[in-house]
């Protein structure tokens, strides 16, 4: 059974770079059917999609965060990672990694598998 697990520091200082990794277990990140994404949720608030990556390295980013976000993939480790630079208190959130389908023409597009999330607090 495929599972996703986020890992990384729970506390980041303002202006520094937030770095998280999502480890995929029970299956291959190199599946041709799926993208791998990051979504965040500030405490008590809603969901915001950050960006997604295909195993080949192709990425999509939320334009509102694009200047600060880098998502990468390491197929040898079955992992993908998120870097968010120049963080502020507004970046404090639970960060989820998730799997989603993305067929550009006549297919499926949904987020079907999520990690449990990891809380990242931005504070000095």
Partner 1 sequence: DIVMTQTPLSSPVTLGQPASISCRSSQSLVHSDGNTYLSWLQQRPGQPPRLLIYKISNRFSGVPDRFSGSGAGTDFTLKISRVEAEDVGVYYCMQATQFPPFTFGPGTKVDIK
In the complex, the residues that contact partner 1 under the rule CB under 8 A are: 46-49, 51, 60-64, 96, 98, 100, 102, 105-112, 114-117
Nearer to partner 1, 14 or 112 (CB): 112
Judged by phi (left if over 0) then psi (alpha if -120 to 50, else beta), residue 106 lies in: left
Q: What are φ and ψ of residue 67, in 5° steps? A: -70, -15
To partner 1, the closest distance from the beta carbon of 29 in angstroms equals 18
Q: How far is the CB of 35 from partner 1 (least distance, A)?
A: 10
Nearer to partner 1, 13 or 119 (CB): 119
Nearest distance from C-beta of residue 12 to partner 1, angstroms: 21
Between β-strands 11-12 and 118-122, what pairing exists: parallel, antiparallel or unpaired? parallel
Nearer to partner 1, 7 or 60 (CB): 60
Q: What is the dihedral of CA 90, 92, 98, 103, to 10 degrees?
A: 10
CB of 104 to partner 1, least distance (A): 9
Alpha-carbon dihedral angle through residues 67, 68, 71, 77, given to the nearest 10 degrees: 150
- Whichever of 47 and 89 has its CB closer to partner 1, that residue is 47
Distance CA 81, CA 19 (A): 7
């Amino acid at each position: 059974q495929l599972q996703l697990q986020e890992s990384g520091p729970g506390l980041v200082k303002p202006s520094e770079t937030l770095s998280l990794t999502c480890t995929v277990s029970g299956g291959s990140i190199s599946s041709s059917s799926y993208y791998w994404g990051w979504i965040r949720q500030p405490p008590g608030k809603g969901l915001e999609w950050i960006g997604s990556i295909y195993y080949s390295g192709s990425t999509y980013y939320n334009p509102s965060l694009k200047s600060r976000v880098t998502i990468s993939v390491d197929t040898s480790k079955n992992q993908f990672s998120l870097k968010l630079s120049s963080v502020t208190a507004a970046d404090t959130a639970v960060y989820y990694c998730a799997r989603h389908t993305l067929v550009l023409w006549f297919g499926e597009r949904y987020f079907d598998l999520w990690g449990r999330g990891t809380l990242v607090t931005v504070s000095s």
